[in-house]
Structures are given as C-alpha cells and as structure tokens.
Structure 1
C-alpha cells in the first residue's frame, strides 16, 4: 500500500472519488438491466432497512476516522515531546564540565540534523535510518560512561540520564505509531460496507435514471472522500499529509541560538 503515498495528493483523491462513483453507477445500471429492483410497494420496509444499514456503517466509518486522526495527533505530540527532550538535554549539558559537555552537545545537535535531513525522508518510505540510530547509540553510550568531574556534575548526571531516556522513549513512540495503519481487516470492512450501503440504494426503483445516478453518485462521492481521508491520514509519517518535523527544526534553531550566545 506504500505506493499510494507516492501519488500526487490531488490525483489520489480524485481517483478514489472517481472510482467510487464509477462503481456505483455501474451497479445502478446493472440493477436496472437485470431487473434487480425494489418495487415502489416494498420501498417502505426496504427504506427502513437501508436506513439501519446506513447508520450502522456511518457510525463504524466515523469511529475509524476518529481512530486515524487520533493516531495522527499522537505522532504530532510525540514529535513535539521529542523536540522538547532534545532541547532540554542540550540545555542541561550546558552545566556539565568539559570535555564531556562539547562532545555530548555536538551529538545532540547531530541527532536533530540526522532526524530532519536523513530519517524524515526515509520514514516516509517506511525505511529505518541506520545513521540516526548510530548517533542515538553513541549519545546513550557517552552518557552512560560519563564520569563526574565535580560535585555539580555528579548531581547533574541523573537529570541528563532521565532526559536522554525521555528523548529515546519519544523517538520510539514516533517511529512505532507513525508506521502503524488500520490494517487489512478494517479496509475490507470499509470497502464492503460502502458497497453494501451504496449498492442497496441502487436497488430502489426510481423512474428517472438520471436522478438515480445523481443521488447514488453523491453517496459514492461522499464514501470516496471518507476513504481518501483515511488513506491520507493513515500511517502518519507517510505521504504528503504526514506529520512534519517543524518542532524538531524549531528545537535545532533554539540550540543554534544558545550556542551562539555561549560564544
């Protein structure tokens, strides 16, 4: 499914809507030609059943959309927390004695550079950034081996370890949730539910074919728009509608400002 996220956003949305409408119109025409129609005298009970199916499907679809948006928001928050942890770690390192301070601050700055410039493009293609993980490992290793040069360093090291652990946790959260999708089972439910709901509407006997095509076309277009929304926001780190590294870029700019002021 990754190939969908390589498509232009407008082309993807238009294609999903167009295919949905085309399928609905095809079903309507086939139902008329094969005489699979609900006669006017039966449309009362049939209409109630269609309303039940429509409401049930709308609720299920709404829950899926909310779930997808929730995952997207979680990844956005994880990125903000990751940026805050990196910035806090850099500022705490200011209180460390040399030579550990410069070495660890350099690794923190390199980490942000690598995430923004290397890892972000990689994760949009569902790839693991080995260079970024190497920087993380080096940073954690240096902190674990850090030997206090003064009583102040000794008091500071637990805070540094806590903040570095927080940075690593937020990174893992971003990578894990950002690559998750709703899964094949839910996609089967979405597609089959849409076919049943719109297909049922095609079975109602309507005098004017043009009117029936217009109504079912609008229903199918709404289904297509919802399906497109789910595709676009599913996998929050893939495609054009993906979470951006703006918070990390802001943290890097703040670190650069602090470094300039310290000179």
Structure 2
C-alpha cells in the first residue's frame, strides 16, 4: 500500500490532471458552445454523481468496518494469549514453565517478525510455529489433580480462541478488494470528474474550483479505501500495540 507521501503525490497528480483537462476544454471547446448542452449534461452528471457517491460511500464504510474488525481481532488474540499465560500457572511445574516461555516467544515473534513482514506483503509464520509447540505441550500434559484438570480445560478453550483469532488475522492480511471493484471505483471516479469538466460556466474560476473540489474528494476517498482495504499495510495500519503491552507483562511474570 501507499505511504502518506505516495498518496499525497497521487492526489496532487489527479488534481493537476483535472485542471489541465478543464484548461484544454476551455481552449478547444469554448464555454459558449458547452453551455448549450448544460441542461442535458447537468442532469446526466447528477445521476452519475449520485450513483457513484453512493458506491464510494458504501465502499468506504465497508473497508472501515473491516479495519475496525481487524483491530478488534488483534485485541482478542492478545487477550487469549494472556489467558493462556496466566492459566498455565495451574499446570504441572515443568509444563507451566514451558508454556509461559512459549507465550512470551509467541508475542515476540508476532511483534518483531510477523508484523514487519505483513507491512511489506511478505509471509512469516514464526508465530504459528510457536503456537504449534504450545499445542504439543498442552496435549502432552497429564493432569494429576482436579485443579490441574480444570486448568487444562480452560487452557484448551483459551488456546482454541488464540488459534481462531490468529487464523482471522492471517485471512485479513491476505484478503483484498477484487479487481472488478477497483475498476468500478476508478472508472466511475474518472467518469464523474470528466462529466463535471464538460459543463460550461462563464465564471471560469468558479468552474475550476468546483472541479478541483470534486477531484479532491474523489481522490482522497479512493486513497483512504486503498489504505483501509489492507489493514496491516500502508500508512494507516493496525498496530501490534496490544501484543507489545502483553509481551512486557508476560516477560515480567515468566520464568527466567
């Protein structure tokens, strides 16, 4: 995904392109001639602009909801990991130490290896390897007292939640908007801006301002959709802050 600088450059490029188009139209197709078709063109632009605005708003709402869901899933993944770390206290001594060390390793791998990889569209399964070791430790644990049996049951539930949230994070990282939707958004945006350029207006400065405002809104919204559609990449991304805090907490309580 684009950085803030790259997004700003793309928006500026769209603004310049729209201004050049208006200038070319004013030069080769005089305003007096374009005013003749204003009645028809304005009506068509109204329908096109309304339709495109609904599509654009719906897409922005959808990707924002998905972005918030990704943030929530990371928080829930962290909560499950902390639960595993704390519930390990009820296991036999040897399994307790192993499990608590593995939870610290999982958080460390997620923060320092998986997150940088996700931000650059690379795969990294270091956390998954640690998770597999956690499952192996859990399934090999033999409960000897009723308290250990209870802890083992709660650990199994917490581990299942952790695995589920991790799977959702991996899916959210891999998912992207279908190409057909990007074609619709980009072509629709170009058609809407070009339609506004075709209007004839005796006050040229006002026409330039209207086209500039429309282009700015469309281009900024498209940039926002592009960034939010990949929640773990780009300038606006889900941060590993919950896992970072959990790592500090677990490191303080884990056996050395």
- Scaled by the length of structure 1, the TM-score of the pair is 0.89
Tell me by how many angstroms 1:34 deviates: 4.3
C-alpha deviations, 1:128-162, integer Å up to 9, x for none? 22322211111111112222133322232121111
State the secondary structure of the residue aligned to 2:192: helix
When residues 162 and 36 of structure 1 are mapped into structure 2, their CA distance, relative to the original with a 3 A threshold, is: farther
State the secondary structure of the residue aligned to 1:99: helix
User: Which deviates the most, 148-157 or 62-71?
Assistant: 148-157
Q: Is the Cα contact below 8 Å between 1:232 and 1:239 reproduced in 2?
A: yes
Tell me by how many angstroms 1:123 deviates: 1.1
Q: Is the Cα contact below 8 Å between 1:80 and 1:247 reproduced in 2?
A: yes
Tell me by how many angstroms 1:235 deviates: 0.4
Q: Is the Cα contact below 8 Å between 2:111 and 2:240 reproduced in 1?
A: yes
Aligned to 1:142: 137
Question: Structure 1 residue runs of 4+, over 4 Å off?
Answer: none
Tell me by how many angstroms 1:225 deviates: 1.0
Answering whether residue 39 of structure 2 is matched by residue 44 of structure 1, we say yes
Distance in 2 (alpha carbons) for counterparts of 1:212 and 1:92: 66
Aligned to 1:77: 72
C-alpha deviations, 1:3-60, integer Å up to 9, x for none? x43x4x1x12321211211221233234334438774344234322211111111110
Distance in 2 (alpha carbons) for counterparts of 1:64 and 1:79: 23
State the secondary structure of the residue aligned to 1:94: helix
Aligned to 1:23: 17
Aligned to 1:153: 148
C-alpha deviations, 1:163-206, integer Å up to 9, x for none? 10100100111121133222221111111111111101111112
Aligned to 2:6: 12
* Cα RMSD (Å): 2.0
Q: Is the Cα contact below 8 Å between 2:100 and 2:254 reproduced in 1?
A: no
**Count of matched residue pairs:** 255
Q: Is the Cα contact below 8 Å between 1:81 and 1:170 reproduced in 2?
A: yes
Structure 2: state its 5+ residue gaps: none
Q: Is the Cα contact below 8 Å between 1:89 and 1:164 reproduced in 2?
A: yes
Aligned to 1:254: 249
- Scaled by the length of structure 2, the TM-score of the pair is 0.91
User: Which deviates the most, 91-100 or 172-181?
Assistant: 172-181
Distance in 2 (alpha carbons) for counterparts of 1:253 and 1:136: 19
Distance in 2 (alpha carbons) for counterparts of 1:17 and 1:52: 25
Aligned to 1:93: 88
